[in-house]
Amino acid sequence: MSTQTAVTPAPTPTWSEGGFKRVRQLIAGVLAIGGLVLTLVNGFSIGYLIVGLWLALLVWKPLHGILVFYATISVYPVLRVISISLRPTDGLLSRSLDLIPPGATLNSFVELFEEEEFLRWIWNSAAITITVSTIGVVIAATGAYAFSRWRFPGRRPLLIFLLTTQMLPASMLLIPIYVIVAQLNLTNNVIGLVLAYTSTAVPFSIWILKGYYDTIPPDLEEAGMVDGCTRMEAFYRIILPLSTPALSIVFLFNFLASWSEFLVAKVILQANQVMTWPLGLNELIGTFNTDWGKYAAGSVFVTIPVLLLFLWQSKYLISGLTLGSVKG
Amino acid sequence: MEFSGLSIEIILNTLQVLLPLLIILVIGVIALEVGLYLFLARVIKTKYALPYTLLAPAFVALVVFMIYPLIFNVLLAFSNLERSTFACYSPVSLGTCELDHLYGLDYAIQNFSDVFFRVRDGEIVGWGRLLRTADSTFPVLLGRTAIWTITNVVFHFGIGMALAIIMNQKIRFKGIYRALIVIPWAIPSVIVGLTWRQEFHAQYGFVNVLIQALGGQPVSWLDEPTAAFIAVIFVNVWLGVPFYMIMLLGGMQSIPADYYEAANIDGASAWQRFNGITMPLLRPIIIPAVTLDVIWTFNKLDVIFLVTGGGPQESTNILVSALYNAAFGPAATTELGFAAAFSIIIFIILFIFALVWITTSGGLKEIYDR
């Protein structure tokens, strides 16, 4: 945020002239008041006021107008899921756009826990996800180090192979894995899903970690080795502690990827004894009926922690992504 | 004691299954590393003993989880494996699973030609059906995939770039805007897909309510082919813009302000500064981001599967969603050998495209240099 660079000058010279600015302010004021009047005339339908205020903003400060518009598009569907989760059962099928529904209630949340096996879905998802993420980090941590520090024979073909795995259509791996898992009699078993998820988690983790190790100067280990460490001690005492952010990024990425995975789970877990939450919520949504409230409640329950985690870690997540998959 | 389907017993059950797996894994990794290192360092005496040792667990994992399944997939394309001969297909069967299928070149020729051609009495009578409807043929799906990929990437890039340029100005509340605009990226995609499907509902979804409030005619989004395709593209654009905005904004903020000041002194216009400074300097970010996005979008089936399921009348399927539907969907063919052949063809198309694109654009070149 430190270097503010003006790609296009905020207001172009003609626009910043006093007279023109005043005209725009005037138009903006008229639009806002117009919206307010229309709202009052039409029996407090707040929509007119919102549209009026937004048009006013667009005329007065166009950049903010655009950003507010796009931010609304990004956020409104999310707010609406929250709003639906608060609707009373008899008001579920409403065409209202209000964010706080009349007669708001937490009933859907209560029903979700009491009538569905929601906690069991969450537990299954969590157990699978944590196992996969752990395996990914453990296996990738040392392998990525080898890729980063040595030019051994076979390095280049392996790296190209890792890159190519990113291009595999999900179903291409899913067909053989499904047959293998079925042969091992692991369908409807958490292990089957752990195996399926690990197949995508490992290449990805190596990729990101290699990118991170590349940014750590090799001088650090060499200094350690001069002081009498072995190479492995240098790795465990110097590189791994320095890589904590990258390790947690890899863990988080694998966590987020398998936490909300749906298509593979749908194939591997076909019976209902073991369900993850995406499968559970998919069953709830079927068509428009009373379960919609429960679906919305479940979505809110699952999304809020992920969202907070993402916003809190977004800086690291994004830098991890750039380092790992984009800059190579 | 059970609450919401969860009891101590169930927790212990899961742990009983997963903890041994983790313990075996850790012991296996240690045993493999120690054994291999001693072998390489003492017996073969290679100077690369340590890196090969460090790589071994990942290599084994790659072989087991990637290379073996991929080889198996090719083998499946050479087989007549069918759902009906797949004895354990029944979801609740508990016995051991016997595969009753044969391998042969004939089957491979059959499977691969089925992807393209419809054969009657030894003569080609037209394009092969990949799904149930006569329209689900290879060229139609390939064309739709191209439209899907190009439209998505263009909108992702265009909107992402526009937002990044605006956000790169001196503007208030920047942090708040960014946090809000990033939100679609952070929501689990299952929830995105299922929620948008509901919101495109002709009567109760907010899209139509909003259209009618603004005086338009309601659209039956999920029942009309064109409208449904627009709907899935909209959802995927909505999902993909934050990635570009963040990447491009990050790139723009790393461009030194001096360049722009120098251009200002020389009297460059806004467009000249954008075209002469911003775009060339962002190239190392744009090329890999677009490359990745093309690959991701080409392979993106969860949005389509969740929002329309490929419908109505299979009209919103792209290649990968057709493959998923053919192999596992409600309209699944019984022939897994055919599905395997189909998947290999899709991969070859993407691979050739990626190879051409990467060599011509020079994207992802850095990986070899390091």
Q: Do B168 and A202 touch (CB under 8 A)?
A: no
Find residues 244-283 of chain A whose CB sits inside 8 Å of chain B. 256, 259-260, 262-263, 266-267, 270-271, 278, 281-282
Name the nearest CA neighbour of A116 among A262, A265, A281: A281
Last residue of a domain, one of B70, B98, B120: B70
Q: Is residue A70 part of a domain?
A: no
Total domains in chain B come to 2
Which residue, among A48, A112, A179, would best test binding to B if mutated, counting the most B CBs under 10 Å from its CB? A179
Rounded distance, CA B33 to CA A236, Å? 15
CATH number of the structural domain spanning residue B234? 1.10.3720.10
Q: What is the distance in angstroms between the Cα of A26 and the nearest Cα belonging to chain B?
A: 22
Give the three-class secondary structure for A128: helix
Q: Does B140 touch chain A (CB under 8 A)?
A: no
Q: Given a cut of 80, is residue B101 above it in pLDDT?
A: no
Per residue in A186-241, pLDDT tens? 777 888 888 888 888 888 888 888 888 888 888 888 888 888 888 888 888 888 88
Residue B276: closest C-alpha in chain A: A7
Reading the block at residue B143, the tokens are 């064309």
Q: Given a cut of 70, is residue B359 above it in pLDDT?
A: yes
Rounded distance, CA B289 to CA B326, Å? 31
Structural domain for A253, as ranges: 112-287+301-326
Rounded distance, CA A327 to CA B184, Å? 24
Q: Is residue A144 part of a domain?
A: yes
Q: pLDDT confidence of B237, banded at 50, 70, 90?
A: very high
| Region of poorest pLDDT, from A197-211, B270-284, B323-337 | B323-337
More confident residue, B336 or B150: B150
Q: Is residue B108 part of a domain?
A: no
Cα angle for residues A317, A320, A322 (degrees, 5° grid): 110
Rounded distance, CA B361 to CA B289, Å? 12
Answer for the pair A187, A181: CB distance below 8 angstroms, yes or no: yes
Rounded distance, CA A70 to CA A66, Å? 6
Same domain for B301 and B167: yes
Answer for the pair B100, B110: CB distance below 8 angstroms, yes or no: no
Cβ-Cβ contacts under 8 Å, B182 against chain A = 74, 310-311, 314
Find residues 185-214 of chain B whose CB sits inside 8 Å of chain A. 185-191, 194-199, 201, 203-204, 206, 209-210, 213
Per residue in A94-112, pLDDT tens? 777 777 777 788 888 888 8
Q: Does B255 touch chain A (CB under 8 A)?
A: yes
Same domain for B305 and B209: yes
Same domain for B13 and B144: no
The pLDDT value recorded for residue A54 is 86
- Helix crossing, B336-361 with B279-298: angle to 10°? 170
Q: Do A143 and B99 touch (CB under 8 A)?
A: no
Q: Given a cut of 70, is residue B107 above it in pLDDT?
A: yes
Q: Is residue B58 part of a domain?
A: yes
Last residue of a domain, one of B70, B98, B124: B70
Residue A144: closest C-alpha in chain B: B55
Alpha helices in chain B (DSSP H): 8-38, 49-62, 68-77, 105-116, 138-167, 174-186, 189-199, 206-213, 225-253, 257-265, 270-273, 279-298, 302-307, 319-327, 336-361, 366-369
Q: Are strands B123-127 and B117-120 parallel, antiparallel or unpaired?
A: antiparallel
Q: How many CA atoms lie within 13 A of A103 on its CB side?
A: 10
Structural domain for B289, as ranges: 138-333
B3 phi and psi, to 5 degrees? -130, 125
Q: Is residue A151 part of a domain?
A: yes
Rounded distance, CA A123 to CA A277, Å? 9
The pLDDT value recorded for residue A324 is 42
The pLDDT value recorded for residue A315 is 65
* Chains A & B: contacts with CB separation below 8 Å: 360
Q: What is the distance in angstroms between the Cα of B97 and the nearest Cα belonging to chain A?
A: 5
Give the three-class secondary structure for B240: helix
Per residue in B150-208, pLDDT tens? 999 999 999 999 999 998 888 888 888 988 998 888 888 899 999 999 889 888 888 99
Q: pLDDT confidence of A327, banded at 50, 70, 90?
A: very low
Reading the block at residue B200, the tokens are 């495109």
Q: Is residue A34 part of a domain?
A: no
Q: Given a cut of 70, is residue B334 above it in pLDDT?
A: no
Total domains in chain A come to 1
Q: What is the distance in angstroms between the Cα of B66 and the nearest Cα belonging to chain A?
A: 6
Reading the block at residue A99, the tokens are 């964010």
Prediction ipTM score: 0.83
Nearest to A292 among B182, B183, B198 (CB): B198
Q: Is residue A255 part of a domain?
A: yes
Q: Is residue B77 part of a domain?
A: no
Give me the percent of chain B exceeding a pLDDT of 90.
Answer: 19
Q: Do A9 and B270 touch (CB under 8 A)?
A: yes
Q: Does A4 touch chain B (CB under 8 A)?
A: yes
Average of per-residue pLDDT across B245-265: 86
Q: Do B167 and A178 touch (CB under 8 A)?
A: no
Cβ-Cβ contacts under 8 Å, A182 against chain B = 86, 88-89, 97
Q: What is the distance in angstroms between the Cα of B169 and the nearest Cα belonging to chain A?
A: 6
Q: Does A50 touch chain B (CB under 8 A)?
A: no
CATH number of the structural domain spanning residue A154? 1.10.3720.10
Cβ-Cβ contacts under 8 Å, B191 against chain A = 81, 260, 281, 299, 302-303
CA distances from A28 to A59, A178, A314, B172 (A): 6, 60, 36, 19
Same domain for B257 and B180: yes
Q: Is residue A97 part of a domain?
A: no
Q: Is residue B364 part of a domain?
A: no
Q: Is residue A157 part of a domain?
A: yes
Q: Is residue B200 part of a domain?
A: yes
Q: Is residue A201 part of a domain?
A: yes
Q: Is residue B339 part of a domain?
A: no
Name the nearest CA neighbour of A20 among A68, A62, A51, A64: A62
